[in-house]
Amino acid sequence: MSSSPKPLNYPLPRKSDQIDDYHGTLVADPYRWLEDPNSEETKAWIEAENQITFAYLGEVAVREKIQQRLTKLWDYEKYGIPFKEGENYFYFKNNGLQNQSVLYTLKSLDSEPRVLLDPNKLSADGTVALSGLAISDNGKLLAYGLSTAGSDWQEWKVLDVKTGEELPDHLNWIKFSGASWTNDNQGFFYSRYDEPNAKTKLEDANYYQKLYYHRLGTAQSEDILIYQRLDEKEWGFRGDVTEDGCYLIISVWLGTDSRNLVFYKDLTQPNAEVVELISQFEANYSFIEHDETVFYFRTDLDAPRGRVIAIDIARPDKEAWREVIPQNQATLESVNFLNNQLICDYLQDAHSQIKIFDLNGTFIQDVELPGLGSVNGFDGKRYDTETFYSFTSFTTPVTIYRYNLITGESELFRQPNVDFNPEDYETKQVFYQSKDGTQVPMFITHKKGIKLNGNNPTCLYAYGGFNISLTPNFSVNILVWMEMGGIYASANLRGGGEYGEEWHQAGMKEKKQNVFDDFIAAAEWLIANNYTRPAKLAIAGGSNGGLLVGACMTQRPELFGAALPAVGVMDMLRFHKFTIGWAWTAEYGSPDKREEFPPLYAYSPLHNLKPGTAYPATLITTADHDDRVVPAHSFKFAATLQAAHNGNAPVLIRIETKAGHGAGKPTTKIIEEAADRWAFLVRTLDIDTEL
């Protein structure tokens, strides 16, 4: 089960003499040609790499058993949170191994559900996924987005809920957009880009998003342009109609910057102009609801952990703004209007708390939750007296509860039946010290009774960016890892949103090294406390987390036994040149700016691989249709890593076909990839396991 005794024979891709000048620093980019995923040379390289990778994984005797166990555990009914529009309820359900979850509708919660939309019938291999939906106020029409092979590009269609009939409406070139119906049920708002070049649509940068209104029964070419900014090519727009249909709230976003603008349009007045209510990128504003001319927002303005404010659009000056719920020690994630109350979802040390306030900000009560975990839901209309929410933890599959807003009681609604005993496992939260003394939380989950002898195979996972919070979550993949005797650790690094905007900013731009220091400190803590040792420690992360893994394995290669960077941002000097990559300069900084180039170059995984270094066993994973983090990042990193590596540990790349960044990936592909990851760790970490 140990690593190969001699290095693998990797492909020897052509090296070009490409050199770029960054503010006086000359940087070689010999594998620039791998940025073209459609060239014959790139295709040949992909095929050669996959042959080596799958041959290596095929030699792991226990791999088939891992896949069988994953498949068996995955085969349980998974319910989504029910929601209501008009007279109809809707919810998603997956029978177990369906590639895509199915949308059902029913008149009452105890009536017979009816399949409304089954994405599994849209493609033979499950690679067409439902990527968005919006149901009209009367519950009679469904607008839905479809994504093919994991692409961010969507096409939108419309269904008659009662008959299941597909209407002729068909919209294209939609990306980073939902849909929001007008309350006359005659059409909806959405955002799109101009039609891209067909050959390069998965690589080209996306600029000049526009907000449109589509009226049912008309061609997309007749859609009404609501708002555009030809002087601001990077601005994006999300249009949401208020519950009463009176206003269109336009949130203006700029890349991945959490700060946004808020405009509105009075839908009760024909030809009303768009009004700029908040016109400076100074904070995040999330619209909650309105009372006549008073708009409620969740914001981090002067409150990095979040608060609720009220703005009267009749007196929009900032001096007239009113604080409704002040900031407290927990981080305010979201707010919903239900039962004419404010239902607030907080994070306290990376786990959920739900608190209810009246419209004046007076605290009413906490919602009692089943334990320390993650909550979603509490959606509905302003005067609803019931709602639904889901609860999950590392050892609790997603469980649905029905909540009575009058009595304050939760009732179990759907509980999945998974083939394991949660009592066999335990989760604890620890706090460790990072390089600069910052206290960082980490969840550790494993079988009860495990011996802390420094010999346990351990998978350390994190993300650390874009204000995204990592909270407890159940995963069959993680369960199988723990059944094999593995420890799973999830660290809440700076750059995330667990402690609000200050925590986020402490891991941005020139402070990004803090994120890597936090992750390295987590690994050192696990080793110092005898959970594991370097030869038994794997690090994993995806997207921005793939960057995290790439940076840490180049900075401290001796600290880890294995690395699993997935769909990672590996080239920090060219990330902004593809698809939506330009939007990440708000998080990372821009290599085009002289003052922001040095830190990017200092940690860019691609540019910090040093020839002659023994790197940990590495399995890079990406997909040929990833148009979020284009696969060129992983391609160039793999080619450079294989050329630089001086050791016997395998450094491989697994390139999925007909898949994208992750959203909508079919169950079969998820299981196959998970089996390959664990099989790789079984072999490279020398794990003695019986399944």
Residue written as token pair 């960077």? 565
Cβ atoms 678, 66 nearer than 8 A? yes
Q: How far apart are CA 547 and CA 551, in angstroms?
A: 6
Q: Which of 434, 543, 590, 604 is catalytic?
A: 543
Cα 367 from Cα 352, distance rounded (Å)? 10
Active site residue 16: no
Q: Which of 214, 351, 607, 661 is catalytic?
A: 661
Please report, for residues 77, 165, 394, 514, 659, the alpha-carbon distance to residue 669 in angstroms, rounded to integers and kept in the order given.
18, 31, 22, 34, 9
Q: How far apart are CA 400 and CA 388, in angstroms?
A: 7
* Cβ(652)–Cβ(49) below 8 Å: yes
Q: CA gyration radius for the chain?
A: 25
Could you tell me which residues are beta bridge partners of residue 88?
85
Q: How far apart are CA 126 and CA 94, in angstroms?
A: 13
Angle, vertex CA 19, rays to CA 14 and CA 24, nearest 5? 160
Place of tokens 């206290």: 439
Nearest in space to 514 (alpha carbons), one of 436, 573, 441, 587: 436
How many CB atoms are located within 10 Å of the residue 412 CB? 10
CA distance 423 to 416: 16
- What burial class does residue 113 get, using C-beta atoms within 10 Å of its C-beta: 0-12 exposed, 13-18 middle, 19+ buried? middle
543 is catalytic: yes
**CA 140 from centre of chain:** 30
AA letter at 329:
Q
DSSP E strands in 422-516: the ranges are 425-433, 439-447, 458-461, 487-491
Q: Which residues are catalytic?
A: 543, 661
